[in-house]
Structure 1
Amino acid sequence: MIVDAREIPAGTRLSADLCIVGAGAAGITLALALEDSGLDVIVLESGGDAPEPQTQQLYAGTVADTRLHPPPDSYRVRRLGGSTTLWGGRCMPLDPIDFETRDYIAQSGWPISLADLTPYYPHANALCEAGEFAYTAEHAFKQPLRPMIGGFASDVFQTNTLERFSCPTDFGRRYRARLAKGRVRVLQHANVCGLPMQIDSTRQVGAADVRVVGGAAFTVAARAYVLATGGLEVPRLLLSNPGPSGRGLGNAHDVVGRFYMSHLAGTIGTIDLAAAESVWHDYDVSEESVYCRRRLALRADAQHALRAGNFVARLHHPRIPDAGHGIGILSALYLARGIVPYEYAKRLYEEGVPGAEKSSTLAHVKNVLTGAPDTTRFVWNWLRRRTLAERKFPSVIVRPANLRFSLDFHAEQEPNRDSRVMLGEQTDALGMRRIHVDWRYTEQDVATVSRALAALASEIARSGVGRFTYDPEQVEAEMTRYGAYGGHHIGTARMGADPRTSVVNADCRLHEIDNVYVMSSAVFPTSGQANPTLTIVALALRLADHLRETANVAASVIPSERARENTHENAHDNAHNNTNDNAHPGIHEPAR
């Protein structure tokens, strides 16, 4: 069921077995997976069904270097569905090497392996509506695909791995009806502001303090809590509550908010493939009508040999701001940048791009007029396959007549203790301190991109398919041109076996608190090269299984009676009579 928390009387005390904070990809996945578990589950979501400026403002904060990180309230959305209301839909699993401890990547290594997640990836793929869990061309397609680069063969890079694209699926819109009809209670406009310790316990959180913007406050007493609020909001919630150490929940060793990663992304150089037998950089469509795209992926053994992090690259259209490309479609996109959402327009500006300063608006207009027939066809196809389609064409694909592309890369970032999310000095409308973001990169990050690009240039030349040229001195500038990549907020409550260097254990439970779990990319110890959403959903499914297995739910509890206890008609009685709701043992097994 879905309830508006603005209708809940002040002072109400609700009780549940499990309280999930946040209804994005992770929170909704958990709610759906636990629907028939026998657990009484409450989901608290800050927003409603539509954008609300006042609620979205709760995400605002400050940034140490605005050149390196976007404003904290961009790339994430505070409403039902969370940031899946905004994402581009790119799905791929992590690679086996991402879980390994590598001596050249500081603080690398997960306490679980890919084998622990593999059983959950197919279901995650289905929830994301990305089709079959098949991420190589050979597995996903019955017939051989045309080569990505005809004549290119390499022991360093492979071209058969895929990205698969969701619709993109807005989890709020897609699963709202199911949540509305189910027994999980979803409370909208409910903001968790406090997670105080339970009286007479140093390892249990008690009833959560919940507030409505401009409205009443109430509490939710659960046997366990899952913080599914994303990689920036998770440390904010943990640090806003003192916990047993007084330094923040789970923060006895000052790890919460540290090791903040994103991905290293940029566009660089010119890759001339005129000598290749053929070139295909467009999307292939699977039998279930899912868009798939191949990349140049640095093989695991090559990563070890180069001492580089994970790295992929895509053939990309010429740089948009430079009108010298002569392509009307790209010039039209540049001229329209003022009406494009921030998250996508950022790359259209590309200040400092070589040649861009020489381009004038008139030059772009000339390109549009000269290429009017092609531009008209593009706009029609875009309307038909993107704007009006349920499953949307993922991105702009332009094939240069001279087969001279730029190279778009996406790489792993090394965990760095000094890259962090902290509490700032400002407060929001609920009285909570806003976040302050200090994202940093390391010499290893520059080395990863530099070594991978040099290896690619060598392999392109060796294969005789063309030439990749770029300025090695510009690598650091290009990989930081957009700063921390978009909405990939990773590592701020990292998973590990050692409480001195991690926040949660292999089951995503806080090391120092028995009844609080974290479920977001905040728990990733390393970022890999993959966009995080698919793995977040897989981890949420794994956590749901763990919660089922360790639940201590009395068989005599009748769901209808539990639901009746928490109706608004009995709210005031509950406030007086249910004083020990939070005294139950945690939903997990006792700490050992």
Structure 2
Amino acid sequence: MRTDANTIAQGSRLHADLCIVGAGAAGISLALALGRSGLDIILLESGTEHHDPATQALYEGTVADERLHSAPDTYRVRRFGGSTTLWGGRCMPMDPIDFERRDYIPDSGWPFDAVALLPYYKRANRLCEAGEFAYTAERAFPHGMKPMIGGFESPEFSSDQLERFSCPTDFGRRYRRRLEEGSVRVLVNANFYGFERGEQPGKVGAAMVRTLKSVSFSVQARAYVIAAGGLETPRLLLSTPGESGRGLGNMHDVVGRYYMCHLAGTIGTVDLSTAPSVWHGYQVSDDGVYCRRRLALTPQAQRLYGVGNFIARLHHPRIPDAGHGIGILSLLYLARPAIPYEYAKRLYEDTSQPGSRLAHLSNVITGIPGTAAFLWHWLRYRTLAERKFPSIIVTPRNLRFSLDFHAEQVPNRASRVTLGSDTDALGMRKIRVDWRYTLEDVRTVSIALERLAVALQNSGLGRFEYDPQLIETEMTRYGAYGGHHIGTARMGTDPRHSVVDTDCRLHEADNVFLAGASVFPTSSQANPTLTIVALALRLADHLHGQLSPEPIVASGGMSARQGND
């Protein structure tokens, strides 16, 4: 059932077994998993199915360094479906090494290993509509997959790992009906803004809810899950005083700290003109999913050199440089005002180069046949397709590519999200983001690029040339990577250094749980959505065991379930 919170009577108190805050990937996955459990569930969502500027403005805040981090209301969507209404669909699990305690990465280590998450990853893959849980070329393509670089072998880099792509699936649109068919009551326009004081130590009271039309009510539940994203979750915790007065779960000043994204950039030139074959595009698996190889730094190499996880992809030449001579890239550059911010940010560099627009226009005109073919492919397989072609793939005629990299950021206590002094339309303090990177982060990228250059040189198949002095500039050119907001309410066994326990329960409140990338202790190289969904499904199993109604003996010896108040 779906209800507009503005229609609820002022001052009402609703009752449920479970109250979930946030209808994004985590909240919807959790609700779906418990939808037929017999539990009475209320799912609170600030927005509706449609974009609303006033609701989106509730995500506004400030950043310490605008060069390093985008405004907090970008890369996040405050509506039903959350940021799955925006994402590109890239799916991959974390690697086993990502869960390990690594002596060379301070504050690393999850309280369980990769095996514990494996069954949930398989279910998450289905929810994300990414097909079979098969992330190597051998498993996903038993009849063979095109090699990335023909004949390339290295003890330090593998090209057998895959990334798989969702449709991309908008969880709100795809799963709204399934939610409504279960026992979930979805309340839209419902903004959670804190908890009442609990009557028992170690427990919070009812969730307080307010709409932008000044309707206020509360939800009394046996348990609560905050699934509001890596930036909003610490905001909500810090906005509730908790027993310490410093924020719920923040007795040891951990909430909002260890904020990680990913280190990403484009650098150098990979010359593969002497390789027997090159394939950097997508191949469709037997189950109809777009898959792509990437170059991955092996776990053995990570341990040997003491660096974080790292992957790289062959990439087209940098778009703003009209010297690439490729019509479609120049067309994208010229059309950048019409491209959504989240995808166009990389097009905004070097816009002041004299004559650049004229050079790009010349590329478009001379490349009309190729551009027309590309646009037809894009219209057919991207714009009109339900399962969309994932991204722009352009193969330079001279087989000289740039290198696109994506690396793990190490946990850093000084990188954090706090409350600012300004307030939003609901009277809540806005966030202030102070994202920082470290010398360890620069070292991960530096060592990985150096070893990749050596691996290609030793293979005799190509060369990777780049300026080592530009590494830090390139890995911070676009700042913190997109919507990957990780680690701000980390999981662990020690309350002095973590916010939630192994079951994602707050150390300081027995009836409050967190879902989402905020609980990740480390960031891995992987995009976070698949792991977010897997963790939500794991949490669902735990909550089902904790909250499943115990039958009581009614008159006549019949079993009956005790109803809500």
> Which bracket does the TM-score occupy, shorter chain normalised?
over 0.9
**Structure 2 residue 80 is matched with structure 1 residue 80:** yes
**Structure 2 residue 331 is matched with structure 1 residue 332:** yes
State the identity as a percent.
68
Residue 38 (structure 1) shift: 1.8
State the match for 1:197 in structure 2.
Answer: 197
- Whole-Å Cα distance in 2 between the matches of residues 377 and 554 of structure 1? 63
State the match for 1:273 in structure 2.
Answer: 272
Residue 391 (structure 1) shift: 0.3
Residue 554 (structure 1) shift: 3.7
State the match for 2:221 in structure 1.
Answer: 222
TM value normalised by structure 1: 0.93
Q: Contact conserved, 1:204 with 1:514, CA < 8 A, in 2?
A: yes
- Whole-Å Cα distance in 2 between the matches of residues 442 and 25 of structure 1? 30
**Structure 2 residue 294 is matched with structure 1 residue 295:** yes
Residue 276 (structure 1) shift: 0.6
Amino acid at match of 2:171: F
| SS in structure 1 at match of 2:353 | helix
In structure 1, list runs of 5 or more residues that go unmatched. 566-577, 579-592
| SS in structure 2 at match of 1:357 | coil
Report Cα offsets for 1:518-538 as digits up to 9, x if no partner. 001000000000000000000
Q: How do residues 528-543 of structure 1 correspond to structure 2 at under 5 angstroms?
A: 528-543=524-539
State the match for 1:411 in structure 2.
Answer: 407
RMSD (Å), alpha carbons = 1.4
Residue 103 (structure 1) shift: 1.4
State the match for 1:575 in structure 2.
Answer: none
> Quick one: which of 353, 356, 362 aligns to 1:360?
356
Amino acid at match of 1:389: A
- Whole-Å Cα distance in 2 between the matches of residues 532 and 302 of structure 1? 23
| SS in structure 2 at match of 1:436 | strand
State the match for 2:487 in structure 1.
Answer: 491
- Whole-Å Cα distance in 2 between the matches of residues 154 and 179 of structure 1? 47
Q: How do residues 225-240 of structure 1 correspond to structure 2 at under 5 angstroms?
A: 225-240=224-239
Q: Contact conserved, 2:549 with 2:561, CA < 8 A, in 1?
A: no
- Whole-Å Cα distance in 2 between the matches of residues 554 and 310 of structure 1? 45
- Whole-Å Cα distance in 2 between the matches of residues 226 and 132 of structure 1? 29
- Whole-Å Cα distance in 2 between the matches of residues 400 and 193 of structure 1? 52
Amino acid at match of 1:40: D
> Quick one: which of 435, 460, 464 aligns to 2:456?
460
Q: How do residues 9-408 of structure 1 correspond to structure 2 at under 5 angstroms?
A: 9-199=9-199, 201-351=200-350, 357=353, 360-408=356-404
| SS in structure 2 at match of 1:168 | coil
TM value normalised by structure 2: 0.97
Residue 204 (structure 1) shift: 0.4
Q: Contact conserved, 1:229 with 1:520, CA < 8 A, in 2?
A: yes
Amino acid at match of 2:223: A
Q: Contact conserved, 2:550 with 2:561, CA < 8 A, in 1?
A: no
- Whole-Å Cα distance in 2 between the matches of residues 560 and 391 of structure 1? 43
State the match for 1:570 in structure 2.
Answer: none
Q: Contact conserved, 1:110 with 1:496, CA < 8 A, in 2?
A: yes
Distance 1:4 1:559, change over 3 A: farther
Residue 561 (structure 1) shift: 9.2
- Whole-Å Cα distance in 1 between the matches of residues 423 and 320 of structure 2? 39
Amino acid at match of 2:142: K
Amino acid at match of 2:219: V
Q: How do residues 497-576 of structure 1 correspond to structure 2 at under 5 angstroms?
A: 497-551=493-547, 553-555=549-551, 562=563
Amino acid at match of 1:195: F
Residue 351 (structure 1) shift: 3.7
> Quick one: which of 413, 421, 432 aligns to 1:436?
432
- Whole-Å Cα distance in 2 between the matches of residues 559 and 96 of structure 1? 45
Distance 1:128 1:552, change over 3 A: closer
- Whole-Å Cα distance in 2 between the matches of residues 536 and 315 of structure 1? 27
Q: Contact conserved, 2:551 with 2:562, CA < 8 A, in 1?
A: no
Q: Contact conserved, 1:321 with 1:359, CA < 8 A, in 2?
A: no
In the TM superposition, structure 1's runs of 4+ consecutive aligned residues that sit over 3 Å from their partners are: 356-359, 556-562
- Whole-Å Cα distance in 2 between the matches of residues 381 and 560 of structure 1? 57
- Between 433-442 and 210-219, the greater mean CA deviation after superposition: 210-219
State the match for 1:475 in structure 2.
Answer: 471
- Whole-Å Cα distance in 2 between the matches of residues 170 and 46 of structure 1? 17
Amino acid at match of 2:479: G
State the match for 1:573 in structure 2.
Answer: none
Residue 195 (structure 1) shift: 1.1
| SS in structure 2 at match of 1:177 | helix
- Whole-Å Cα distance in 2 between the matches of residues 96 and 398 of structure 1? 33
- Whole-Å Cα distance in 1 between the matches of residues 12 and 198 of structure 2? 18
Q: Contact conserved, 2:491 with 2:500, CA < 8 A, in 1?
A: yes
Distance 1:390 1:37, change over 3 A: same
State the match for 1:581 in structure 2.
Answer: none
- Whole-Å Cα distance in 2 between the matches of residues 560 and 370 of structure 1? 73
| SS in structure 2 at match of 1:218 | strand
Report Cα offsets for 1:435-477 as digits up to 9, x if no partner. 0000000000000000000000000000001110000000000
| SS in structure 2 at match of 1:409 | strand
- Whole-Å Cα distance in 2 between the matches of residues 380 and 561 of structure 1? 60
In structure 2, list runs of 5 or more residues that go unmatched. none
State the match for 1:572 in structure 2.
Answer: none
Q: Contact conserved, 1:322 with 1:359, CA < 8 A, in 2?
A: no
- Whole-Å Cα distance in 2 between the matches of residues 49 and 341 of structure 1? 19
Q: Contact conserved, 2:37 with 2:548, CA < 8 A, in 1?
A: no
State the match for 1:586 in structure 2.
Answer: none
Q: Contact conserved, 2:38 with 2:548, CA < 8 A, in 1?
A: no
Report Cα offsets for 1:360-396 as digits up to 9, x if no partner. 1110000000000000110111011001110000000
